[in-house]
Structure 1
Amino acid sequence: MEKKAQMRTMFTSSEWDECKWSKTVKGKATYATVMSITFWNGVNLCLKVFAPLVKVLRIVDADKKPSMGFLYGELKHAKEAIKEALNNIEKNYQPIIEIIEARVKDRLDSPLHFAAYLLNPYYFFKDMGIKLDHEVMDGFFNCVEMFYDANGELQSHVVNIELPKYTHKEGTFGKSWATQGCAENDDNYNPVKWWITYGNHTPNLQRMAIRILSLTSSSSGCERNWSTFEGIHTKKRNRLDVHRLNNLVYVQFNAKLMNKQKREKERNVDVLLASDASNAQGWIVEGGDDEEIDPGTRLTWEVVGEASGADGMFQPRRSSRMREFHEDDFQSEEEEDEQELNEFDFEFDEDHVLEEYGEEEV
């Protein structure tokens, strides 16, 4: 969408008319697409619908603060933003909301999610009506029963004595600076730190809130470690003992975190929440941000090997799935049709998606 004007200019230029690709079937189809008003309206609508969901995914994937306390609340905000983007016309937004709710059901609506939503003052202090939501309160009660299992007296004390102090903003919860401390979800706000500061008069509820709000809701950190393990534990280096292997992963992964934090300070921007999606590429694709790392601060494989005492130098592996594209890779429609079936291995369509594809003209 940002390059809409430039793309239209390119396809209306004399250079495009003289280009051999403009005579191919795909070239003509691309020209019709780029010049179509309907296509760009669809792109704009897709951005309005998916932008709130992408924001939720980036919050979940961020590693500055735990995301459990924000997931349910941000999902609610995302659904409201989608409704507004579709002018609050039910027939337009209802199919999308149904898909989201189907994905959320039995996955992101557990008692932990509800309790974290209630105990996060960023949401509760803005909407005191959350305590009237029976799903949220039932989820919180279930968490109390599990957290203080087999201790009915303590459960009763948390629910009947300590919780009302929080929900009615009594004591330190009612201080103006307590409200100001959770008014904005910025880099300075962390619900765990907020409870440590203002929850001293409700020690049992404080302990429960800190434990729940300290949870993550994504396995991204583990997956990044798996990629690091893959790069270290190769076939030629499979005799490393577990202790040394863990130390190598610890050194390399934390070096990446240090470089990431350094870049954030230099840019003064959150990599995963930035408006420029390319800033997150380094975490999405392995090695995607290698060029942005200062060579003076890069922790090379040689240094890691020397520090660990491992035999040989570590060399990052190049993925066999990556290749460069050249002009010769592109062919006309007629040339591609002859080779198309021989070049691709098709997977079994288990969900029968292809049966419905193409029934309606886009």
Structure 2
Amino acid sequence: MAGLIASIVRSGARVAVVVALAQRLRDRWGQYSALMYMKRNMAVSSKNPYFVKAFSYAANNYIDGYIPLGYNKLRTTLLEKEKQHVERMLEPTKNSWSGKGVSIVNCSDEIKDKDYVAKQIRDVIREVGLSNVVQIVTDNAPLLNVAPTRFASTIVMLKRFRLLKQGHKEMVISEKWSSYKEDNIGKAEFVTEKILSENWWQKIDYILAFTNPIYDVLRSTDTDAPTLHLVHEMWDSMIKKVKSAIYLYERKDEQVLSSFYNVVHSILVQRWTKSSTPLHCLAHSLNPRYYSHQWLRVDPTRVSPHQDIKITNERVKCLKRYFRNEEERRKVNIEFASFSDGRGVFDDHDSLNDIDEVDAKSWWLIHGGKAKFLQPITLRLLGQPSSSSCCERNWSTYSFIHSLKRNKLKPKCAENLVFVHTNLRLLSRKTPQYNKGETMMWDIAGDAFSPIDEENDVLEVVHLSLDEPELERVTFSNDEDINHI
């Protein structure tokens, strides 16, 4: 889905002018955001709880004879000790892997081929433990036929541009705008013509109408939050909203053919086919909300996951791979039948009532204890993300620490700094202080923020997924201890 706008625009020339102007505006915005970069990072640093504690202690405690730490000690022994200290603090998190499972996320700015990716994945599997791995999420790579686009930034700019519609109109009819024409009369007249054209603004509204559902899904999944069990339903809802927006604009009944919608739909289906996995369907099948009468009544075309043939087939694939013992798999299927039909151990009053009131993971923790085979795998799936965003933040941090101006910094030292920084952020998010006080959400828009026109803001489209046989063969062959993951 990330590369949709490029493909859609190529297929629908009528919106090309709007997008081209939005891209010009984005470039101007990039100049402004570059100036804001330092300001925002300074603001985030001042909210860093570790920064605040250090300065508060220094200001309130006099240490006679104290000498600031030396350069060599800071970058060697003390950094290594701090890394070891952070690793000790991470032990409770690591101990939870066996119950919650782990998603391995592979993402790098390095040029990499299938062998490089496979080696990285194998090494991490050995580190976290084969039985703890639930899924692997990989970022795009030049071996994956990447086509860079600007989908998200273009849509954000169009939204802002539409919000300031009246201001833009006042700008081009002002006397001061006439003086600007002397610099480039042709461009000025082009801008004036478009901004004063209601037909042009209607095209912007149209673009936003059918791309907003796509953008919303990207934003919802482009986090490290657990969304694996929500993606399938998001996809179905998104398709319907896109179709509704296009058909409304074209004033057509849903039974009538729309060539433009067919192009958009084919792009969406292609991207979904490459990105979706049987895990999406299994996680979707285990979300109790999708069996409730309240959820089903919203749309008459909705059916429960166990009544959807495609979802059922993918769920069966997953369970066969996870439970290789036929007797265990039979028991799992019996438990799933009871769950999906609301009978057996799942037929009590509270269990049925909580479906619409309690989040999926809490529901399984409360009511799934008697399903001894199904509950463990469900709790693992309901805690997994569906994108590589969390890993991308590491590389954003790495580029912040190690750049051309700091190219003398050794790779090991840079890796240790990223390790300490990233995991301190992780640990701080689990504290009560993270959601209140002056340091509340201190890391939001920190390292991850960059000018909107930088390369790391590019969303990409691929035509090859991790399930591609060639990559899977390289990853999991010639290694007996992990070839059955």
- The TM-score by the shorter chain falls in which range? 0.5 to 0.7
Q: Which residue of 1 aligns with 2:377?
A: 208
1:115–1:139: 8 Å Cα contact kept in structure 2?
Answer: yes
Say whether the 8 Å CA contact 1:22–1:28 is kept in structure 2: no
Q: Residue 107 of structure 1: CA displacement? A: 2.0
From 123, 128, 131, the counterpart of 2:290: 123
Deviations 1:323-352 (A, max 9, x none): xxxxxxxxxxxxxxxxxxxxxxxxxxxxxx
Maintained 8 Å contact 1:121/1:191: yes
Residues 60 and 67 in structure 1, CA contact (< 8 A), matched pair in contact too: yes
Give the Cα separation in 2 of the matches to 1:90 and 1:124. 33
Which of these residues, 243, 267, 275, is aligned with residue 83 of structure 1?
243
RMSD (CA atoms):
3.6
Once the two structures are superposed, residues 93-150 of structure 1 have per-residue CA deviations (whole angstroms, 9 ceiling, x without a partner) of: 2221111001111321x2111111111223332245332211100111111111112x
Q: 1:143 maps to which residue?
A: 318
Matching residue of 2:482: none
| Structure 1 residue identity aligned to 2:356 | A
Say if 1:33 and 1:207 are closer, same or farther in 2 by CA, change over 3 A. same
Cα distance in 2, alignment partners of residues 44 and 281 from structure 1: 29
Q: CA deviation at 1:40?
A: 1.1
CA contact (8 A) 1:111 1:142 kept: yes
Segments of 5+ residues of structure 2 without an aligned counterpart are 1-161, 249-253, 297-302, 457-485
Letter in 1 for 2:167: Q
Which of 19, 41, 47 pairs up with 2:208?
A: 47
Relative to structure 1, the CA distance from residue 111 to residue 10 in structure 2 (aligned partners, 3 Å threshold; closer, same or farther) is same
Give the Cα–Cα distance (whole angstroms) in 2 for the partners of residues 129 and 181 of structure 1: 17
Partner of 2:326: 152
Deviations 1:158-189 (A, max 9, x none): 11x201111111256445654554537xxxx6
Q: Secondary structure at the match of 2:384?
A: coil
Cα deviation, residue 201, structure 1: 2.2
- Which has the higher mean CA deviation after the structures are superposed, 82-91 or 235-244? 235-244
Structure 2 CA distance, aligned partners of 1:321 and 1:52? 24
Aligned partners of 1:115 and 1:143 also within 8 Å: yes
In the alignment, is the contact (CA less than 8 A) between 1:229 and 1:249 conserved in 2?
A: no
Give the distance between the partners of 1:256 and 1:27, measured in 2 at CA. 51
Alignment size in residue pairs: 272
TM-score (norm 2): 0.49
Question: C-alpha distance in 2, partners of 1:24/1:258?
Answer: 57
Alpha carbons of 1:34 and 1:320: their partners in 2 closer, same or farther (altered >3 Å)?
Answer: closer
**Counterpart in the other structure of 2:338:** 165
Q: Which residue of 1 aligns with 2:267?
A: 99
Q: Note closer, same or farther for the CA distance 1:173–1:35 as it changes in structure 2 (3 Å cut).
A: farther
Partner of 1:238: 410
Higher relative contact order (CA 8 A, sep 6+): 2
Secondary structure at the aligned position of 1:225 is classed as: helix
For structure 1, the 5+ residue unaligned runs are 271-279, 289-318, 323-362
Q: How far did residue 222 of structure 1 move? A: 0.8
- Check conservation: 1:8, 1:35, Cα contact below 8 A: yes
Cα distance in 1, alignment partners of residues 197 and 279 from structure 2? 47
TM-score of the two chains, using structure 1 as the length reference: 0.65
1:193 equivalent to 2:362? Answer yes
- Mapped to 1, the partners of 2:178 and 2:407 lie a distance apart of 53
Distance (whole Å) between structure 2 residues aligned to residue 75 and residue 224 of structure 1: 25
Q: 1:35/1:215 Cα in 2 relative to 1: closer, same or farther (>3 Å)?
A: same
Counterparts of 1:273-312 in structure 2, within 5 Å, are: 285-286=449-450
The CA deviation at 1:285 is 3.0
Give the drift of 1:20.
3.7
Counterpart Cα distance in 2 of 1:79 and 1:143: 25
